[in-house]
């Protein structure tokens, strides 16, 4: 990986420690906290290179997360140090692919993530052309560090009755006035009984963000069991509009699948 | 404060930055995130002095949070640096008082907190004698740095019908297998409509922890409006046993009350 001399500059590296209140009952970092860290690292990395929200907001642009896929061998335990690396893989006209690696305390990869972002104008809600933005500098951030996990897939959910529903409350709403991207993940994980997390771990989690939801919206969760420990979930607001879709694959810790990360 | 030469050693000082996903829709740090930081600092401070959970668990003791009172002038904004200081005020046979100061990016106090802890044996669930524990060293941690907010009060709730209820799920449960102390705060804050947070801020939040609740427990929230923007809340599990009580005082940002902190 170090054979490409351009990579070190282009890859952002951020160090963390798993706080005791950021782990679940199994003692491992929650996927929600990891998701927050990923988005936070994306923001810092973009900001350091002149493409952060602070700069963009001056010009009334903001980043919008469209897809997120996380694939994990394991997660850090309480008080364990870990590292997140992030880099831009591709820049297209309307979307950019940003990838992540999760490294354990010894620097070994224990997971990867892929994300897809668009940039929109806060005035018009229309997408920006990422290839010409700020003199085209975004494309220069791209690098070819490997990210050995599948791209986010198309998620379809057939279920016609919700398994659960809730109303978006104060704690769900972030500074943009929307339900926080990561809160959807937490609500979706809460659809599964504790026994699932006792016996299995999350191998892969994918999110496709379709529309925003707001305070007071009723969020309903539709779920398909696709077999092989894989579940597809669609979140709809107020009985109709799709807000996001997710796909979760669990795995028993013993008997790792042949396509294990790293 | 620096006139007591013993204070600097006894006060733990921990620096943070408000992460963008740790603020609410008003752009200020959430009380839940602040609460997690306080408990985390308490753990680190105790651990650094040989009274942390890692040491204690070897002898099958653990700290149990009994009371928490937080009083705030304001809270840090996204990306703002802040500092938490913590120290032990008193050590009694069954309880110890631990206080906190919240300092803004310039080191000025913007809030304080008081907490009361007991230590119990994980085997017998009986309280430990804090005055004789580990040769009596805990009492030597105490110092007299001022904490200019009221002690936690007695909270009584008269309401006989719940305003809300929910079932404890995966995301509520921490590494001890209980509903996380801070999740109660988040659920209680979610009882109030967004307009309350738009017009007012939380001036003081008190928690009295009475009993543990577990995965699958139905948590019901009983609320009294005490007037003067003050609300008392009791959380009961499965229709009967009290789990915790809270008291929340809101305040309009304009027209600070005379008893403002600092």
- Domain boundary (A127, A152, A177) is at A152
Q: Which residues of A touch B170 (CB under 8 A)?
A: 24-25, 189-190, 192-194, 197
Do A131 and A137 touch, CB atoms closer than 8 A?
no
Residue A208 pLDDT greater than 70, yes or no: yes
- pLDDT surpassing 50 at residue A3: no
Backbone angles phi, psi at A47, to 5 degrees: -65, -45
Q: If you count residue pairs, one on A and one on B, with CB atoms under 8 Å apart, how many are there? A: 90
Are B175 and A43 an interchain contact pair (Cβ–Cβ within 8 Å)?
no
**pLDDT at A261 (0 to 100):** 45
pLDDT of residue A89: 97
Residue listed under structure tokens 């913590």: B86
Please give the average per-residue pLDDT across A105-112, as a whole number.
98
| Residue A56 tokens, joined | 């963009």
Same domain, yes or no: B116 and B158: no
Residue B30, chain A, CB below 8 Å: the answer is yes
For the ranges A46-55, B129-138, B227-236, which has the lowest average pLDDT? Answer: A46-55
Question: Cβ–Cβ of A30/B171 closer than 8 Å?
Answer: yes
- What is the per-residue pLDDT across A33-79, written as a single tens digit (0 to 9) for each? 999 999 999 999 998 888 877 666 667 888 999 999 999 999 999 99
- Mean pLDDT (chain B, rounded): 91
Q: Are residues A73 and A145 in the same domain?
A: yes
Residue with the two structure tokens 């198309």 = A154
Task: Indicate the range of B132-141, B160-169, B176-185 predicted with least confidence.
Answer: B132-141
pLDDT of B169 over the 90 cut: yes
Query: Which B residues 101-140 touch A at CB under 8 Å?
Result: none
Q: How far is B174 from chain A (nearest CA, A)?
A: 5
A171 in reach of chain B (CB within 8 A): yes
β-partners of residue A117 are A65, A96
CB contact under 8 A, A190 and B169: yes
Does residue B189 belong to the interface with chain A, where contact is any CB pair within 8 Å? yes
Query: Pick from A169, A176, A190: which is nearest to B171 by CB?
Result: A190
Instruction: Give DSSP secondary structure letters for A30-72.
Output: -HHHHHHHHHHHHHHHHHHTT-SHHHHHHTTEEEEEEEEEEEE
A chain contacts of residue B216, beta-carbon cutoff 8 Å:
194
Domain boundary residue, one of B117, B152, B187: B152
Nearest residue of B to residue A18, measured between CA atoms: B40
Of the candidates B19, B170, B189, the beta carbon closest to that of A194 is on B170
Domain boundary among B152, B186, B215: B152
Q: For position A248, what pLDDT does the model report?
A: 98
Closest chain B residue to A35, measured at CA: B21
pLDDT at A107: 97
- Contact status, residue B251 vs residue B211, Cβ threshold 8 Å: no
Chain A nearest C-alpha distance from B141 (Å): 23
**B11 and B95 part of one domain:** yes
Q: Which pLDDT belongs to residue B262?
A: 41
Give which of B91, B101, B81 is closest to B49, Cα–Cα: B91
Cα separation, B247 vs B251, whole angstroms: 13
| Bridge partners for B223 per DSSP | B233
- What does the alpha-carbon distance between residue B238 and residue B250 come to, in Å, rounded to a whole number? 29
**Rounded average pLDDT over A14-20:** 94
Q: What is the pLDDT of residue B133?
A: 81
Min distance A20 CA to chain B CA atoms (Å): 7
Distance between CA atoms of residues A43 and B23, nearest Å: 15
Residues in chain B, total: 262
The percentage of residues in chain A with a pLDDT greater than 70, rounded to a whole number, is 91
pLDDT number for residue A36: 96
Buried b or exposed e, range B90-125, using 16+ CB within 10 angstroms: ebeeebbbbbbbbbbbeeebbbbbbbbbbbbeeeee
- What element of type H or E holds B12? strand B12-17
What are the helix (H) ranges across A142-257? 181-189, 194-199
How far is the alpha carbon of A21 from chain B, nearest alpha carbon, in Å? 6
Q: Which residue of B has its CA nearest to A25?
A: B175
**Residue B22 with chain A: CB contacts under 8 Å:** 36
Return d(Cα B165, Cα B183) in angstroms, integer. 14
A176 by DSSP, 3-state: which?
coil
CA distance linking residue A63 with residue A99, whole number of Å: 15
Q: Which residues of B touch A190 (CB under 8 A)?
A: 169-171
CB atoms B23 and A175 under 8 Å: yes
B148 plus B116 within the same structural domain = yes
| Spatial separation of the C-alpha atoms in residues A174 and B111, rounded to whole Å | 23
The chain A residue lying nearest B171, using CA atoms, is: A190
Q: Cβ of B195 under 8 Å from any chain A Cβ? A: no
Query: Residue B90 pLDDT > 90, yes or no?
Result: yes
B145 plus B27 within the same structural domain: yes
Contact at CB, A177 and B20, closer than 8 angstroms: no
Average pLDDT, chain A: 91
Q: Is A197 in contact with B170 (Cβ distance < 8 A)? A: yes
Residue in B25, B189, B194 closest to A174 by CB:
B25
Q: Are residues A192 and A148 in the same domain?
A: no
Assess whether B193 and B241 both reside in one domain: yes
Contacts with A19 from chain B: Cβ below 8 Å? 36, 40
Overall domain count for chain A: 2
Test A189 with B173 for CB contact under 8 angstroms.
Answer: no
DSSP A113: E
Question: Domain check: are A52 and A34 in the same one?
Answer: yes
Residue of A nearest to B195 (CA): A170
* CATH code for the domain in which residue B20 is found: 3.10.129.10
Which tokens is B72 given? Answer: 């705030």
Residues B135 and B45 placed together within one structural domain of the fold: yes
Quote the pLDDT of residue A8: 53
- Which residues 32-61 of A are in CB contact (within 8 Å) with B? 32, 36, 39-40, 43
CA B127 to CA B117: how far, in whole Å? 11
Q: Are residues A217 and A87 in the same domain?
A: no
Same domain (yes/no): B148, B160: no
Q: What is the pLDDT of residues A225-258, one digit of tens each?
A: 999 999 999 999 998 899 999 999 999 876 544 4
Phi-psi region of A255 (alpha: psi -120 to 50; beta: other; left: phi over 0): left
| Domain span including residue B119 | 1-152
- Reported ipTM: the value is 0.90
Q: Which residues of chain B lie closer than 8 angstroms to A24, CB-CB?
A: 170-171, 173-175
- pLDDT of B190 strictly over 90: yes
Task: Provide the shortest C-alpha distance from residue B2 to chain A (in Å).
Answer: 31
Tell me: do A15 and A33 sit in the same domain: yes
| B190 contacts in chain A (CB < 8 Å) | 169-171
Q: pLDDT confidence of A122, banded at 50, 70, 90?
A: confident
Task: For residues B82-89, give the mean pLDDT.
Answer: 98
Instruction: For residues B229-239, give the mean pLDDT.
Output: 97
Three-class SS of B11-34: CEEEEEECCHHHECCCCEECHHHH
């Amino acid at each position: 990986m170090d054979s490409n001399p351009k990579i070190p500059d282009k890859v952002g590296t951020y160090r963390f420690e798993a706080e005791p209140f950021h782990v679940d009952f199994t003692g491992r970092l929650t996927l929600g906290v990891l998701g927050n860290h990923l988005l936070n690292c994306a923001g810092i990395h973009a900001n350091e290179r002149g493409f952060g929200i602070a700069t963009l907001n001056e010009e009334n642009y903001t980043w919008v997360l469209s897809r997120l896929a996380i694939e994990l061998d394991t997660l850090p335990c309480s008080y364990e140090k870990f590292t997140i690396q992030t880099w831009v893989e591709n820049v297209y006209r309307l979307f950019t692919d940003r990838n992540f690696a999760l490294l354990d305390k010894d620097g070994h990869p224990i997971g990867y993530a892929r994300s897809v972002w668009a940039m929109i104008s806060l005035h018009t809600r229309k997408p920006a052309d990422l290839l010409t933005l700020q003199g085209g500098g975004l494309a220069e951030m791209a690098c070819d560090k490997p990210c050995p996990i599948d791209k986010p897939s198309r998620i379809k959910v057939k279920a016609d009755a919700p398994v659960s529903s809730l109303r978006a409350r104060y704690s769900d709403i972030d500074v943009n006035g929307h339900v926080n991207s990561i809160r959807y993940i937490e609500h979706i994980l809460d659809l599964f009984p504790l026994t699932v997390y006792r016996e299995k771990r999350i191998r892969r989690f994918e999110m496709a963000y379709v529309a925003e939801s707001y305070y007071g919206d009723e969020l309903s969760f539709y779920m398909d069991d696709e077999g092989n420990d894989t579940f597809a979930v669609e979140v709809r607001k107020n009985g109709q509009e799709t807000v996001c879709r997710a796909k979760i694959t669990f795995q028993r810790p013993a008997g790792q699948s042949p396509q294990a990360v790293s």
